[in-house]
Structure 1
């Protein structure tokens, strides 16, 4: 067949197809440029608000692909592709993937909430998901704790967010709660004075708020006293251990006995 005849027959259609393809590519390139622009602006805005880097990068990438998808759809329509069927197919595929990854998506959503609202941060000592430890990392799907005996515990974020999170490190000070029992024949006032002296002698114990020393209960075998001093969070365990030891030693030196559970059995000789 004569090339001129082919050119006359198919040339206009080929030129129109080329123009449509070039227009579609231009739309995608412009969409890609806008996607990069909005993604970068989003990342900078979140960085100024001191958002977590993991969450910031995820949101920026999500925005990038969303804007790019908005450009791809009209680009396909420009070259004559029926976008309604494409969108329906993508929706069905997304639904199927969502059902298959239901548990993972729940962990992901919980991870976003953990990173966004920050009930705990790396380095905090927490009770979370039924476990206790120092937060080593928080990712989009799981949280990692290090226990006091240096075991690593990996908890799905859905489990972390499904229960209360107790953060022991977030506040600058903590209260030590000690209950000390003395026998009924011991000098109660003297015992309280000893507790007060021990609290005042330790420089790590805060003066404000003041420590609480009082009788809390008349138990079955002891008079129970409470000693509740306030300390900096970092000093909680050292002060608690030292104060407990000092109370025992001071009570022994001053003749104040700390009773232990016991049972007296009386035999009736007349039976």
Structure 2
């Protein structure tokens, strides 16, 4: 007992220092955990305000919390006198190795986060991206599922979407239909324009504002081409386009306005032998 008592007396200052460091390390862990939870909850609230999917928000918040706790743990170990440089180097090397192994997956993950945060499109929108056109069925962290008009299901990696131009046909409430109608040169141009205008105005789905535009576009090789540009609600785009094409043909036929077809003149030259 005397040996232990002597050792305690001789090392009292060292014991006090270590005890104090342990206490400070525990305080760091305790308050670090509190700060981590607060910061994570704040991050989740921010994601909820941006209408981010709950599953995605939970995944991202767990990453944020883990990063904070790693930093807190390193601070606590440093307070105990543990050399943290080697830990940081090991973590860095492990992170680099994992990043290289999962390069494509991490790229898709990052792209998924960008899509969810900035919302260039949402479920139900008709888009064209990565060489694919269709209605968005669901958006996930690593991929986006699209249904084509002929009901094929296509799963596109998110990195392919953010790495290309995205055309969202559903974002705006109105769309313009662009038609080019050719009539023969011997037709009455004013009559043809009037027929086209009447057909457009007769369709109730065509909007009055912006007003539709019917005008001569060009004097082509075998026809006078009119541009017909009515505006419709986005949901009425394809039905209105199909209907206008049919009615334009019927009404031009009734008015006797010819629609030319490609022609080729062949000239034969007799060669004397």
TM-score range, shorter chain: 0.7 to 0.9
SS of the equivalent of 2:228 reads: strand
- Following superposition, the deviation at residue 191 of structure 1 comes to 1.1
SS of the equivalent of 2:95 reads: helix
Q: Are the counterparts in 2 of residues 39 and 60 from structure 1 also a CA contact under 8 Å? A: yes
Runs of at least 4 residues off by over 4 Å: 4-13, 15-26, 268-271
> How many Å separate the matches in 1 of 2:6 and 2:129?
73
SS of the equivalent of 2:181 reads: strand
Q: Structure 1 residues 192, 10: CA separation in 2 closer, same or farther (over 3 Å shift)?
A: farther
1:235 aligns with 2:232: no
- Following superposition, the deviation at residue 57 of structure 1 comes to 3.0
> How many Å separate the matches in 2 of 1:162 and 1:48?
27
The residue aligned with 2:188 is 187
The residue aligned with 1:116 is 117
The residue aligned with 1:211 is 212
Greater Cα offset, 229-238 or 47-56: 47-56
SS of the equivalent of 1:209 reads: coil
SS of the equivalent of 1:154 reads: strand
Question: Structure 2 stretches of 5 or more lacking a match?
Answer: none
> How many Å separate the matches in 2 of 1:66 and 1:19?
26
Q: After superposition, give the CA deviation of every residue in 1:86-137 in whole Å (9 maximum; x if it has no partner).
A: 1111111111112222222222222222222221111111110111111122
Q: Are the counterparts in 2 of residues 55 and 116 from structure 1 also a CA contact under 8 Å? A: no
SS of the equivalent of 2:121 reads: coil
Q: Structure 1 residues 9, 149: CA separation in 2 closer, same or farther (over 3 Å shift)?
A: farther
- Following superposition, the deviation at residue 200 of structure 1 comes to 1.1
> How many Å separate the matches in 1 of 2:268 and 2:6?
123
Question: Structure 1 stretches of 5 or more lacking a match?
Answer: none
The residue aligned with 1:148 is 149
> How many Å separate the matches in 1 of 2:4 and 2:136?
71
TM-score, normalising length: structure 2: 0.86
Size of the alignment, in residue pairs? 267
- Following superposition, the deviation at residue 66 of structure 1 comes to 2.1
The residue aligned with 2:43 is 42
Q: Are the counterparts in 2 of residues 182 and 258 from structure 1 also a CA contact under 8 Å? A: yes
- Following superposition, the deviation at residue 251 of structure 1 comes to 1.1
How large is the Cα RMSD of the aligned pairs? 2.6
Greater Cα offset, 56-65 or 139-148: 56-65
The residue aligned with 2:76 is 75
* Residue correspondence of structure 1 range 128-147 to structure 2 within 5 A: 128-147=129-148
